[in-house]
Structure 1
Amino acid sequence: MKICVVGTRGFPEIQGGVEKHCEALYTAMCTQFDIKVIIFRRKPYAKTSPYYKNIQFIDLPSTKIKGIETVLHSLLATCVSIFQKPDIIHFHNIGPAMFSPLAKLFGIKVVLTYHSANYEHKKWGKFAKLLLRISEKIALTYSDSIIFVNKFQLQKSMPKYNKKYVYIPNGIPNTQPSIKTNFIQSLGLESKKYILAVGRITPEKGFDILIKAFAKINTKYKLVIAGGVETEANYYKELKSMISPDRIIFSGYTTGENLNQLYSNAAFFILSSRNEGFPIVLLEAMAYQLDVLVSDIPATHLVKLEENDYFRLDDENSLINGITYKIQNITRREYDLSHFNWQTIAKEVYTIYNNLKIL
């Protein structure tokens, strides 16, 4: 069976939730099943091409211009996919899936993974949001099977397509806490003396409200934000101007052992997002047994947390109270993460592929 994957920037070492999802899903799937997966990557982001069993990378031209990047690359990837004659084209997110009718025109089955309602993100203008809503309708109409990583998004999606819908959450990566501290020391950090947030530097991640709240708390703890800046340079400058530089560390896009050290040595973890599909970074923090403080949005209710783990969305005082409470009650926690296993998830997605192939 041959699968073409459209809608990710690629992997490895490429920032983004969809990118982490695809890396974990397809590496797990290709080690378990007799399947060939072709990943279409965007050349400006693809730096290395390591060997993965049964995975082929095709790197296509792309721009980094917001609003154009995804459309251009997805169109090219869909066209090239057709010439590959796959059994299935798997689109990740509603924007890339606007080209699903092309696949159907050539008799190719289509799977959509609906990661998030992108038109809810503040970074997009009116025209872009309209285009994303149109893309959503096209994607839901032409896909043969639709996977939602967020069950709440599934429940509010158009009921006329219910028979196509299936809820399969994101998984949790294998974690082994690091005993090293050289990276955090290079940032001027002490173990258990900083609060960690992880995510791309964009407005929907809510780092502005997080920094405003943290700036008003009298504490010796530092705030670390691990995430890269892509198209939101002005937003990044705004964030840096909100707080004294000796209280905050922007570590940039951080992966591998360096990210391992940040998770392993953090006091606790904060997710301040305004919008999420299913936040893999929250699962990562829980895997490291970190205490967590998260914004009260549907996506953060996909895991089982306590009432005092939430703060009201965009409520600065609620966030201040939450951070203060967590600082005064530093702890490590055990979570039940048995439902978020990538091996099991890979089997579920493969079953969808297999069922479509034999139709």
Structure 2
Amino acid sequence: MKLLFHSFISTICAVFSDCELIHYHNIGPAMFSWIAKLAGKKVVLTYHSANYEHEKWGKMARCLLRLCERIALSCANRIIFVSKFQLEKYSDKVQQKSVYIPNGIPETVATTRTDYIRSLGLEKGHYVLGIGRITPEKGFDVLIRAFELVNTDYKLVIAGSVETESEYLTKLKQLVKSDRVVFTGYVEGENLNELYSHAGLYVLSSRNEGFPIVLLEAMSYGLDVLVSDIPATHLVSLQDSDYFQKEDVEDLARQLERKLNRTEVVRRNTYDLSRFNWQRIAEDTARVYEDCLEYSH
């Protein structure tokens, strides 16, 4: 309700301003895009994810989010999809006014500092990293259950904050059967830089994603990765051996065992992330604005 209230107030403020275009980010806030449309404003929607697919929402909330989606797709003059797979699900009418522009990441600079990871009892290059909000769709329960099946002296680090899913965090902690799992809570800045810089493996265990920015961040540090086989993780170029079957605890455990117990020297990977450069993304977005506004002049 707080999000909807803020979206409504923001829409009203924008409507009474001298702006010509209002850009909504995702379907929930765009519930009030019809007001902008009636006021003669051009509307751009960035479709980040189908929120109604997330387990945290009840039946009524999912119905409301589906209604928001219908309103948003109908009222938007132009639509930016951060996932081309999500774009392809919709009708020709929607696709004709849509464009794929992914999310991006800033340039990263790895650190040599280890103060923070040592405070957590971690060794450089000797832990598996999972990052994200502590919500069921992130699949941390799958990751913990799989990790507990692996015979390794690596530790597992779960870094992320809890919003409303405190029961899910409790469930995660109950799944831990050893002293090898570390929950850091919310991490940012230099501490987050340390976690990325010195991880031995990054795992994305999500059940669904719009566009996994944390995966891009891990790749920008050159980390070896292991990701859930969902459409969003195919938006980047990875090897077949970097995937495991979604929600399959045993398959994830096997893949973890393979990656963590290999004998060859693990070197930092080099990924082509040029498509995710913010300058290019800003230019693509500016063209969407220009195309949208030229019809009003």
Q: TM-score range by the shorter chain?
A: over 0.9
Distance change in 2, residues 1:90/1:245 (3 Å): farther
Distance in structure 1 (CA, Å) of the matches to 2:67 and 2:182: 40
Distance in structure 1 (CA, Å) of the matches to 2:142 and 2:100: 31
How far apart are residue 186 of structure 1 and its match? Answer: 1.1
Distance in structure 1 (CA, Å) of the matches to 2:22 and 2:180: 47
How far apart are residue 208 of structure 1 and its match? Answer: 0.5
Distance in structure 1 (CA, Å) of the matches to 2:225 and 2:190: 21
State the partner residue of 2:162.
229
Structure 2, unpaired ranges of 5+: none
How far apart are residue 260 of structure 1 and its match? Answer: 0.6
Distance in structure 2 (CA, Å) of the matches to 1:355 and 1:213: 48
Q: Map of 1:272-311 to 2, 5 A cutoff?
A: 272-311=205-244
State the partner residue of 2:34.
101
Paired residue for 2:21, among 85, 88, 95?
A: 88
How far apart are residue 150 of structure 1 and its match? Answer: 0.2
8 Å CA contact 1:177, 1:288 repeated in 2: yes
1:134-176 CA distance string (max 9 Å, x none) = 1111111100100000000000023222221100011122100
Paired residue for 2:275, among 323, 339, 344?
A: 339
State the partner residue of 2:113.
180
Structure 1, unpaired ranges of 5+: 1-67
1:337-358 CA distance string (max 9 Å, x none) = 1111110000110111122223
8 Å CA contact 2:37, 2:43 repeated in 1: yes
Which shows bigger deviation, 146-155 or 247-256? 247-256
TM-score, L = length of structure 1: 0.80
Q: Map of 1:216-255 to 2, 5 A cutoff?
A: 216-244=149-177, 246-255=179-188
How far apart are residue 245 of structure 1 and its match? Answer: 5.9
Q: Which amino acid aligns with 1:240?
A: K
Percent identity of the aligned residues? Answer: 57
State the partner residue of 1:20.
none
Which shows bigger deviation, 269-278 or 84-93? 84-93
2:285 is aligned with 1:352: no
Distance in structure 2 (CA, Å) of the matches to 1:173 and 1:292: 19
Secondary structure at the residue paired with 1:318? helix
Distance in structure 1 (CA, Å) of the matches to 2:107 and 2:90: 32
1:278-311 CA distance string (max 9 Å, x none) = 1010000000000000000000000011111000
Q: Map of 1:35-50 to 2, 5 A cutoff?
A: none
8 Å CA contact 1:172, 1:337 repeated in 2: no
Q: Which amino acid aligns with 2:162?
A: V
Secondary structure at the residue paired with 2:104? coil
Secondary structure at the residue paired with 2:16? helix
How far apart are residue 71 of structure 1 and its match? Answer: 1.4
TM-score, L = length of structure 2: 0.96
Which shows bigger deviation, 330-339 or 138-147? 330-339
Q: Which amino acid aligns with 1:185?
A: R
How far apart are residue 331 of structure 1 and its match? Answer: 3.9
How far apart are residue 263 of structure 1 and its match? Answer: 0.3
2:198 is aligned with 1:198: no
Secondary structure at the residue paired with 2:275? coil
8 Å CA contact 2:209, 2:232 repeated in 1: yes
Q: Which amino acid aligns with 1:166?
A: V
**What is the root-mean-square deviation in Å for CA atoms of aligned residues?**
1.1
State the partner residue of 1:132.
65
Aligned length: 292
State the partner residue of 2:12.
79
Distance in structure 1 (CA, Å) of the matches to 2:3 and 2:148: 36
Q: Which has the higher contact order (CA 8 A, sep 6+)?
A: 2
1:307-347 CA distance string (max 9 Å, x none) = 11000011111100111111023442111111111100001
Secondary structure at the residue paired with 1:275? coil
Secondary structure at the residue paired with 2:147? helix
